[in-house]
Structure 1
Amino acid sequence: MLLDERISDHPAPQSGAKGPATHDSIAIIGAGPTGVYTLMELVKSDTPLFIAVFEKSNMAGVGMPYSPDYATYDMLANIGSIEIPPLTETYLEWLQRQPDSFLRPYGVDTDTLSERGFYPRLLLGMFFRDQFERILMQGRERGHRIVVRERHEVIDVSVSVIGVDVTFERYDGHRDTVSYDRLIVASGHDWSAPDLPDGVVLPNPWSGLIDTDSVGPKIGIIGTSLSGIDAVVAVAGRIGRFVRSDDGLSFELNGAEDDTRITMLSRNGLLPETDFYCPLPYEPLDVFTDAAIASACALGSAGLFDRLFHLFMQQLNVADPTFAASDMMNGVTADTFPLAVFAERLKSDPFVWARRDLQQTQRDSVSKHTVAWRYTILRMHEPFSDLYALMTDADRDRFDRGLRRVFVDNYAAVPPLSMERLLALSDAGILDVRALGEDPYEVRTLEDNNQLVVMNAQGRQVFDTLVDARGQRAMSLHDLPFATLREQVATVSNANRSQDPLRGALTEGFGLRLFQGKPRVFLAAISFLMSSKPFVQGLPGSHEIASVVARSVLEVA
């Protein structure tokens, strides 16, 4: 049953109307994790609020990556309970409340639940749904009026000095417009790929493979990271099953004659690292400190990246002097550091290297041993994200081409079971990995047989099915789905001669400067913030953004 049908005692404003005069009215677009965290922060307010939550799917509170429409039983969430910001309780506490009969079909044993465990995405979606409903009850108990509009898609937003008009289409096709005092945009993933030629449509790694009637037999997956692994697991689930024995994990095909072959494609042909043991929450850094960063920033944007890299190397030297003094670190610069870090992996067979890395991280997990240099890099990626916008355009480009890849490889390490699955598929002769190289590549359709070809200077590779698993890209003003709001931001940007319209319009609290006075629209959609905050992804990022946005909204309400 839709949540809207269970809260008829909390009616929404009528068309063109606002909530009662005693309530500030706030609309939230999107009820995924960011929307849930935002709602949690808003209902802490002592001032009564009227809150309307719009969710275009039929299940508010879940989020696309964790929905049955986009995930299977085998797909793992790449985060443990210890790293998931709690809602009304922690994820582990919620799991511990569930009966064994409920968890067993998901391959989860109640006796081995751990705050560092990785569990199916579907379970995490159920956790968020349950927490969303609990937050709704808590909010109403505190005097807030909250309505949830599932299967209501917001199609336009218009801002004025007195409020925000939200136009939406209901599940029955009826359209309406309602005015609110403030609006929070917390929409989720967008899998569109604008760099593909007309006529080429690639399935995404989730619903694109789950819903497709047939794939392969020759399957290409662009991306070797988290989304790429999801795509591999989705294909594997169609053709066979993973089997655990005393010899480890293996893969068995449903039919001996199945000729499915999967090729993962990436620029460098590397597989990701396996998640490594480290102390959580993060231990403080003793060189790359707030004071040291402030001193580096005080000298201006010119040269900031190199000054930060100097601090970066000093921190590595203190934390892991053996690594910092190794031959591969001799004379490295901000531009050559990535080449040094990846050198051994680039020379190795990706599966040989991945097996060795998996075995080492499993031993470290048992002994609770932390690889100091990896942990140090992990702790420095968030400060670099905050400083990205302060760098010059040239230095941001240098960062994107180099050090950013090291940070992404480090914090996007995958669960051990995910790596075991890749190795099992490789051992079965089903999976391989190829490098595309740094040259530009094109994707074309072969008209005679509808196969897809990936072409670049190194040659061409032909596939029956090609999956775009490059992950969420940074969105720009052009991607904003609300035409009137898009025009309003563009008008302000043109007046201010801003090269990046969204970045130029955003306040520190993620409000959009559209008129004189306090902002009325706040942008909490991570995909639109990635251009200025390159690492603001995942559930911790959702919580961070939600906290800032909710605080900003309540300050101006």
Structure 2
Amino acid sequence: VDIDVRTGCRVIDAANRKEGIELTFTSRPSQKVAKAVFDHVVLATGHQWPSRPDAQPGYFLSPWPASVLADVPATQIGIRGSSLTAIDAAVALATSHGDFVRRDDPLIYQPAQDTEDFHIAMMSRKGLLPEADFYFPLPHGPLTYCTPEAVAAAVARGPDGLLDAVFDLFRTELIHLDPDYAAETGLHDATLETFAEAYFARRASVDPFVWAAANLKEAQANHAAQVTVTWRDGILRMHEIVAVIVPHLDSAEFERFSRAFKPIFVDIYAGVPHESIERMLALHAAGRLDVIALGDDHEVDTRCPEGGARVTIGDTTRHYPIFIEATGQAALSGIQFPFLSLLEQGIVRDQVANDAPDVVRGIAVDDLFRPVDAPLPMDRLFCLSLPFIMGRHPFAQGITSSHEMGGIVGRRLALILNTAKPAVDHADTAA
């Protein structure tokens, strides 16, 4: 297989033509516009962040690239988010205004001189820090009740009651795996919503840094002793099995899944490295970090004449001269797709539910990531651009997801090329 890697290129458009997919691109150093036509194209454009993160003075639509935070002054900084992306932003800011130093075993934060005003407030609806990575064995063992076959059978019965049927499988599996945890959370009699509340309840009742310190100590001990917390491992093993129902949910059930079920799975698989938790604890101990629960009664005003944002929680308002959106990649709709011609040709379009046309569920693709009902030959175009398929694949985000999705498309392309028997011995494919 010959692979031609063209570095320094920027693809500015893609369009379907009679002979294939035409890519329009510029190349360094001349930035001259060129075109090339391919038999097959795989769009794997990854996360999509604003070209200008600083939408207005003091207000950042995202923390990426992290270099944009290098010039943020030592002041009161608000970060919306308290999970992976927010931690990355907090660490980038902290290392601009001080250093993390390990003395004996504890990690401490040493602020630089003249940074007395430097303080970060990470805020999210629940006001929780993610938990530390926990130990689990690989490969995962099989599940007993919440299996791919059982979930597929539930899907085959139709969308009515699908979410609750799969939650029943989830509940039965978790009761089987960890009866004590099931009893503690009232899982036997729980609905999806009451279990979602119970899952976070004990953690939400404790100061986030007290919980983080205890959880880190437990995770470190379990890694050292190779001890698995059964309920955590069980939820981790079920998240990808349950995810296959998402394309089959109607709008109301999709909203329930996103609000109640998805946060549980995300909390489990989005555990963070132990040193990340240590850094958050060190920042807090140095008086430079707090975590705030926004709750449901809050407002963030990002149109402040003085820059930054004003955050109102209940009857209290506070101004942050610097405010950073750090809730991670959001699902995007077709209108934000980077290649306009594919939109204009009706090839890329939103997956829209008849009863909720305003709900963003990503672009319409099939199980092989091909645009659905598109006016072009089958297998000519594949879309693996994460922000536009997150509605259908809510847990797709990292290296493992990229590997699995790439494998699906790669196997399909291999099948096509092996069976097509073209007149020439090559086919041009772009990714």
The two structures have a TM-score, normalised by structure 1, of: 0.69
Matched AA of 2:382: F
**Stretch deviating more after TM superposition (248-257 or 170-179):** 248-257
1:253 aligns with 2:111: yes
Q: Which residue of 2 aligns with 1:166?
A: 23
1:443 aligns with 2:301: yes
Q: Which residue of 1 aligns with 2:249?
A: 391
Quick one: structure 1 residues 497 and 352, their matched pair in 2 at CA, closer, same or farther if it must change by over 3 Å? closer
Instruction: Give the whole-Å Cα distance in 1 for the aligned partners of 2:6 and 2:289.
Output: 43
Instruction: Give the whole-Å Cα distance in 2 for the aligned partners of 1:247 and 1:516.
Output: 61
Matched AA of 1:281: P
- Return the offset for 1:266: 0.6
Instruction: Give the whole-Å Cα distance in 2 for the aligned partners of 1:408 and 1:265.
Output: 17
Conserved 8 A contact 2:171-2:188 = no
Instruction: Give the whole-Å Cα distance in 2 for the aligned partners of 1:407 and 1:213.
Output: 36
Matched AA of 1:522: F
Deviations 1:314-352 (A, max 9, x none): 000110011112254352111111110111111110000
Conserved 8 A contact 2:21-2:39 = yes
- Return the offset for 1:182: 1.0
**1:524 aligns with one of 373, 384, 387:** 384
**1:538 aligns with one of 394, 398, 403:** 398
1:323 aligns with 2:160: no
1:508 aligns with 2:367: yes
Instruction: Give the whole-Å Cα distance in 1 for the aligned partners of 2:414 and 2:315.
Output: 55
Conserved 8 A contact 1:216-1:465 = no
Q: Which has the higher contact order (CA 8 A, sep 6+)?
A: 2
Secondary structure of 1:243's aligned partner? strand
Secondary structure of 1:147's aligned partner? coil
Query: Residues 158-307 of structure 1: matches in 2 within 5 Å?
Result: 158-171=15-28, 172-192=30-50, 201-202=59-60, 204-210=62-68, 212-255=70-113, 258-307=116-165
Quick one: structure 1 residues 175 and 515, their matched pair in 2 at CA, closer, same or farther if it must change by over 3 Å? same
Q: Which residue of 1 aligns with 2:414?
A: 554
Conserved 8 A contact 1:156-1:168 = yes
Matched AA of 2:368: G
- Return the offset for 1:443: 3.0
Instruction: Give the whole-Å Cα distance in 2 for the aligned partners of 1:497 and 1:392.
Output: 9
Query: Residues 419-434 of structure 1: matches in 2 within 5 Å?
Result: 419-434=277-292
Quick one: structure 1 residues 181 and 297, their matched pair in 2 at CA, closer, same or farther if it must change by over 3 Å? same
Instruction: Give the whole-Å Cα distance in 1 for the aligned partners of 2:8 and 2:51.
Output: 25
Matched AA of 1:450: G
Conserved 8 A contact 1:251-1:428 = yes
Instruction: Give the whole-Å Cα distance in 1 for the aligned partners of 2:239 and 2:71.
Output: 41
- Return the offset for 1:491: 8.2
Secondary structure of 2:109's aligned partner? strand
Q: Which residue of 2 aligns with 1:107?
A: none
Query: Residues 4-403 of structure 1: matches in 2 within 5 Å?
Result: 144-171=1-28, 172-192=30-50, 201-202=59-60, 204-210=62-68, 212-255=70-113, 258-326=116-184, 328-329=186-187, 331-403=189-261
- Return the offset for 1:507: 2.5
Instruction: Give the whole-Å Cα distance in 2 for the aligned partners of 1:551 and 1:444.
Output: 46
- Return the offset for 1:360: 0.7
- Return the offset for 1:201: 4.6
- Return the offset for 1:488: 1.7
Secondary structure of 1:402's aligned partner? helix
The two structures have a TM-score, normalised by structure 2, of: 0.88
- Return the offset for 1:282: 1.6
Instruction: Give the whole-Å Cα distance in 2 for the aligned partners of 1:404 and 1:535.
Output: 9
Q: Which residue of 2 aligns with 1:407?
A: 265
- Return the offset for 1:267: 0.9
Matched AA of 2:366: T
Secondary structure of 1:146's aligned partner? coil
Q: Which residue of 1 aligns with 2:310?
A: 453
Conserved 8 A contact 1:273-1:414 = yes
Secondary structure of 1:179's aligned partner? strand
Conserved 8 A contact 1:493-1:504 = yes
- Return the offset for 1:544: 0.8
Q: Which residue of 1 aligns with 2:346?
A: 489
Quick one: structure 1 residues 331 and 477, their matched pair in 2 at CA, closer, same or farther if it must change by over 3 Å? same
Instruction: Give the whole-Å Cα distance in 2 for the aligned partners of 1:244 and 1:412.
Output: 25
Quick one: structure 1 residues 502 and 229, their matched pair in 2 at CA, closer, same or farther if it must change by over 3 Å? closer
Matched AA of 1:303: G
Quick one: structure 1 residues 506 and 223, their matched pair in 2 at CA, closer, same or farther if it must change by over 3 Å? same
Conserved 8 A contact 1:209-1:235 = no
Matched AA of 1:506: V
Aligned residues: percent identity? 36
**Stretch deviating more after TM superposition (265-274 or 251-260):** 251-260
1:473 aligns with 2:330: yes
Question: What value does the CA root-mean-square deviation take over the aligned residues?
Answer: 2.7
Instruction: Give the whole-Å Cα distance in 2 for the aligned partners of 1:199 and 1:222.
Output: 17
User: Where does structure 1 lack aligned partners over 5 or more consecutive residues?
Assistant: 1-143
Instruction: Give the whole-Å Cα distance in 2 for the aligned partners of 1:291 and 1:546.
Output: 23
- Return the offset for 1:161: 4.1
Matched AA of 2:102: R
Matched AA of 2:400: P
Instruction: Give the whole-Å Cα distance in 2 for the aligned partners of 1:218 and 1:181.
Output: 53
Conserved 8 A contact 2:86-2:327 = yes
Matched AA of 1:507: D
Secondary structure of 2:23's aligned partner? strand
Aligned length: 412
Quick one: structure 1 residues 474 and 202, their matched pair in 2 at CA, closer, same or farther if it must change by over 3 Å? same
- Return the offset for 1:519: 2.9
Secondary structure of 1:167's aligned partner? strand
Deviations 1:46-71 (A, max 9, x none): xxxxxxxxxxxxxxxxxxxxxxxxxx
Quick one: structure 1 residues 555 and 211, their matched pair in 2 at CA, closer, same or farther if it must change by over 3 Å? same
Instruction: Give the whole-Å Cα distance in 1 for the aligned partners of 2:88 and 2:59.
Output: 19
Secondary structure of 1:250's aligned partner? strand
Quick one: structure 1 residues 519 and 326, their matched pair in 2 at CA, closer, same or farther if it must change by over 3 Å? same
